[in-house]
Structure 1
Amino acid sequence: MYKVPKLNNQGTEGLEYLYIDSNGNIETSKDHSKLINDPDGVLGNTLKPLLKLPTSMPKDFGFITYNDQPPPDDKGVTPSVNSKFGHSKGLVMMDKTTGVWLLHSVPKFPFKRDNNFYPTSGAAKAQTFICVTFKYAEFQKIGQHLLDIAAFPFESHFPADFHDQLKKAAIIKWNNREPGEKIQDLESDAGTQFKSIAKKLYKGKMSACWLESEDLT
């Protein structure tokens, strides 16, 4: 999904989007008159299992939302995220059969786990989303990826018998959240092959650099 920025000269609100499914079919928010913040739109429908209290969730359902620019908590306090956490945004939710991994670029998203899930600040700039369905077993590796990138978790709920990697990824202070470096193979529920790539934390002094090569193949 690609969400457009707010552009006065183009007449966009910053909530319109273009959606491409796994078969290459393309729809826009104009096709069904639902903007990205509509609870009954494409994004809202994807999030429906998440938009309820943990006490109302099925016993075999778990989730984690992570964002290096998290939304404010219930008391209106925005968590402070230092540089040891990964520059990453997304959420995972699943039961013991299948689940989805949604990666995105929106600060403070999901804003609330209710119909107010899309932050008003998310209208200004263009944003991207990719959502992939995986079988439950793959979330062991996805949980490890979240540990390797030191994702900052701001809300989560997992039953006791879920993958340990997911439960550890939900703990902010787990093992000091030191990023690792790993490439893993993943296979979607439909059989599409993916790779998750985690890079290690850079601890040196930052400076400008350029890459010059006659052969970039």
Structure 2
Amino acid sequence: MWRIFLMVSLLCWSTDGQVTCRDNNNGEVDWYIIYKAPQLNNIGTTGLEYLYIDSAGKKKETLTTDPTYKPINHPNGVLANTLRPIFTTSLPDNFGFISYSDQPPGCDAIDKFGHSKGVVMMEKDKTGVWLLHSTPRFPFLRDQKKFYPSSGAAKAQTFICVTFKYDQFNKIGEHLLDINAFTFDDHIPEGFYKELKDLRRTGNNIRDPRVNQVKIQDLKSAGLPSTGLPSAGRTSFESIAKKQYKAGEEAEDDECDDGN
């Protein structure tokens, strides 16, 4: 009986388009923005409190006096809920993800890689998320209880998560190639966009140099309706890319270890 239930659950995850930004209660949202407070002894913050706003107009200030308080590193909080598709070692072929950072777990990338951090996850031909952030060593592990680094409490950090339809991820992959994002963890099967496949770690240091210019791309969110509310339509975003090294300059080999 339990075996049948598990199989049905896995099939539902892989076919129902569950890769979306998620709120503190695991509800789907089109986008959200988080400001995480720094650890400050003079006002008593632990560095795990945050301010939150999303596409439904929901605003939340997490306080330890709130009985529903979930800190930023909570295993069932907003970030863990959003990242849950990668908290497994068995990933289906219709799912892909890339974790990139100039400060990945274990070391720092060389300065020829972009000063940028984020996670992209998507189901092929359905929906996915682009989670941009400023936190070094994040996600620390693909583990629901250990995804947030202990070093992430000290300073203020920001997160922006947007849900996109799959047809936007070739543009997102192009952006990450343009900024020479350093990929430290990934699962991109062969059937996905070439721009995403080119970001896999196996090709990280042998990419062709990109043209050194500012590049702006228009993106539109998936337009997900929030729980109990109608869709407000697709929100427009712009990705702005500029990389540091000059055209024709070859990327050097990088010896940054895999943090996982």
With the shorter chain as reference, the TM-score category is: 0.7 to 0.9
The superposition leaves residues 41-93 of structure 1 with CA deviations (integer Å, 9 ceiling, x where unpaired) of 1111011001111xx22221100000001102xxxxx3x41121111000100
Distance 2:50 2:158 in 1: 9
For each residue in 1:181-205, what CA deviation from the matched residue of structure 2 results, as whole angstroms up to 9, or x when unmatched? 31111111011111111013256xx
Q: How many Å separate the matches in 1 of 2:217 and 2:76?
A: 34
Preserved contact between residue 180 and residue 243 of structure 2 (Cα < 8 Å): no
TM-score normalised by length of structure 2 = 0.72
User: Which residue number in structure 2 is paired with residue 148 of structure 1?
Assistant: 178
| 2:161 equivalent to 1:118 | no
Instruction: Tell me which moved more, 168-177 or 150-159.
Output: 168-177
Q: Which amino acid aligns with 2:98?
A: I
Q: Match of 2:123, as an amino acid? A: D
Question: Unaligned regions of 5+ residues in structure 1, if any?
Answer: 73-77, 204-217
Aligned to 1:92: 120
Aligned to 1:71: 105
**Partner residue, 2:6:** none
**Normalising to structure 1: TM-score of the pair?**
0.85
Report the equivalent of 1:197.
240
Which secondary structure does the structure 2 equivalent of 1:70 belong to? Answer: coil
CA distance in 1, matches of 2:243, 2:84: 34
SS of aligned partner of 1:49: helix
CA distance in 1, matches of 2:166, 2:206: 23
Q: Shift in Å at residue 33 of structure 1?
A: 1.5
- Does residue 28 in structure 1 map to residue 56 in structure 2? no
Shift of 1:29: 2.6
Aligned to 1:212: none
Q: Tell me the matched-pair count.
A: 195
C-alpha distance in 2, partners of 1:26/1:179?
A: 40
**For 1:17-39, what per-residue CA distance to the aligned partner results, in whole angstroms no more than 9, with x for missing partners?**
11111122111233521101111
**How many percent identity over aligned positions?**
60
Which one-letter code corresponds to 2:190 in the other structure? A
The one-letter code matched in structure 2 to 1:57 is L
Partner in structure 2 of residue 49 of structure 1: 85
